[in-house]
Amino acid sequence: MKVVLKNLTKIFPSRSKKAGEEVVAVNNFNFEIPDGKLIGLLGPSGCGKSTTLYMISGLQKPSSGQIFFGEEDVTELSTENRGIGLVFQNYALYPHMTVKQNILFPLQNLRGKDKMSKEAMLERAYEAARLVQIEELMERKPSELSGGQQQRVAIARALVKMPQVLLLDEPLSNLDARLRLQTREEIRRIQKETKITTIFVTHDQEEAMSISDMIVVMKLGVVQQIGAPQDVYDNPANLFVAKFLGTPPINVFEGCVKEGKLYIGDDCVMDVAGAEDQEVYVGVRPEGFVVDENGPMHCVPTNLEVMGRDVSVVATHAASVNPQVRSIINSDINVRSCMESGEIRYTLKSHKTFVFNKETEERVYFEVK
């Protein structure tokens, strides 16, 4: 089922004069979510991710704009009539019911033509349990399950009604690191198996990048960029997106473009033909530095962190916005002599170096060689 958001906007009115201004939680969101894909809604706390999800679910009414499931306008439809499955951060299972009863619950509430026989309900419940691999836990109570297992029950409960759209709001944030990793792979597997259009909200960029077909990066209610995770990482539209994606994060420097050359502080680091003269921020991904004894960028190394296949050189540069510049270098390259000499010089990879206008923070494009 494709989902279309048309000029979707949510404004929360100010509660009182004292409480200040109204909040534009989601501002004119336009997007066509293709059928059968997993979309990651991503952004820092308060950027409007959950509000977007709640509007798609029908739990919140848009201030303006429309939501379509396929060709049908569902904007005015109640949550129950949208054919969605919802999973929240806190699993919200009924504590007095067994796993089986929890999963059966949405089916038992079906009325009229949707009403199912007991056998059919059980069959569906076991099918959903099999999908999330909890068949052997069906007789337990939620308190007898781990966090990861509880979350899988919540997913089974959302899947049992065979939703057209599955909505997940930070479903992994109550899990420890190992379980998070495992459960996110599970979610991906289940989504691929069921081919249900899925929208997944998270503030964790790594999580979103690892399982999504497409990510939507939001800031203060405004969509910043939509695309395949790798494309957005390789081609950020603005400084916010560049900074939000990537671990370790992108290195940001103050610089300028002058007569087709890019300067970081006093270092003339690269040709940027096609870019106009201006003050800029320069973002360099940690993997964008090449150690080069004649390289144009001069840094002062302060620390070396060995990470097996790679080493991470921590350095300083007068034009760096952050106290540290972090590069990731193949461990075959000997950087020890640089550490001893007190200077490390780099050439920058042009496809890992992004230039942003200093005022607008929008990307400045140049001819990549």
Q: Of the ranges 45-53, 146-154, 180-188, 320-328, which one interacts with ligand ATP (CB under 6 A)?
A: 45-53
CB 226 within 8 A of CB 237: no
Cβ closest to ligand ATP, residue 21 vs residue 332: 21
* CB-CB neighbours of 356 under 10 Å: 24
Looking at this protein, which amino acid is placed at residue 203?
A: H
All residues at 6 or more sequence positions from 270 whose CB lies less than 8 Å from its CB, including other chains: 261, 262, 296, 348, 350, 353
Structure tokens at 214: 């497409």
Quote the least distance from Cβ 201 to ligand ATP, whole Å: 6
First and final C-alpha spacing in the chain? 42
Distance from C-alpha of 38 to C-alpha of 186, rounded to nearest angstrom: 13
Cβ closest to ligand ATP, residue 23 vs residue 291: 23
Quote the least distance from Cβ 173 to ligand ATP, whole Å: 9
Q: Helix (H, G, I), strand (E, B), or coil: what is residue 281?
A: strand
Q: Rule CB under 6 A: is residue 45 a binding residue for ligand ATP?
A: yes
Q: Return the closest-CA partner of residue 208 out of 23, 1, 39.
A: 39
Quote the least distance from Cβ 184 to ligand ATP, whole Å: 17
Q: Rule CB under 6 A: is residue 203 a binding residue for ligand ATP?
A: yes
Residues 2-21 that bind ligand ATP (CB under 6 A): 12
Residues 301-360 that bind ligand ATP (CB under 6 A): none
Q: Which of 49, 100, 326, 345 binds ligand ATP (CB under 6 A)?
A: 49
Q: Of the ranges 48-56, 105-113, 143-151, 239-247, which one interacts with ligand ATP (CB under 6 A)?
A: 48-56
Q: Rule CB under 6 A: is residue 47 a binding residue for ligand ATP?
A: yes
Quote the least distance from Cβ 49 to ligand ATP, whole Å: 4
Structure tokens at 285: 């991904």
Q: Rule CB under 6 A: is residue 48 a binding residue for ligand ATP?
A: yes
Quote the least distance from Cβ 222 to ligand ATP, whole Å: 11
CB 194 within 8 A of CB 19: no
- With vertex at residue 358, the alpha carbon angle to CA 352 and CA 359, rounded to the nearest 5 degrees, is 140
Cβ closest to ligand ATP, residue 167 vs residue 262: 167
Q: Rule CB under 6 A: is residue 43 a binding residue for ligand ATP?
A: yes
- Kindly give the residue spans of alpha helices, DSSP state H, lying in the chain: 49-57, 99-108, 118-131, 147-159, 177-194, 205-211, 229-234, 239-244, 336-341
Cβ closest to ligand ATP, residue 12 vs residue 365: 12
User: Which residues lie across from 223 on neighbouring strands?
Assistant: 218
Quote the least distance from Cβ 343 to ligand ATP, whole Å: 42
Q: Which of 23, 314, 339, 368 binds ligand ATP (CB under 6 A)?
A: 23
Looking at this protein, which amino acid is placed at residue 84?
A: I
Q: Which of 46, 147, 246, 260 binds ligand ATP (CB under 6 A)?
A: 46
* CB-CB neighbours of 103 under 10 Å: 30
Q: Which of 51, 183, 224, 357 binds ligand ATP (CB under 6 A)?
A: 51
Cβ closest to ligand ATP, residue 63 vs residue 101: 63
Quote the least distance from Cβ 177 to ligand ATP, whole Å: 19
- Torsions phi, psi of 89, nearest 5? -60, -50
How many residues form the binding site for ligand ATP (CB under 6 A)? Answer: 12
- Torsions phi, psi of 67, nearest 5? -125, 130
Cβ closest to ligand ATP, residue 25 vs residue 241: 25
Distance from C-alpha of 24 to C-alpha of 319, rounded to nearest angstrom: 35
Quote the least distance from Cβ 218 to ligand ATP, whole Å: 7
Q: Return the closest-CA partner of residue 354 out of 268, 300, 275, 266.
A: 275
Chain contacts with ligand ATP (rule: CB under 6 A): 12, 23, 25, 43, 45-51, 203
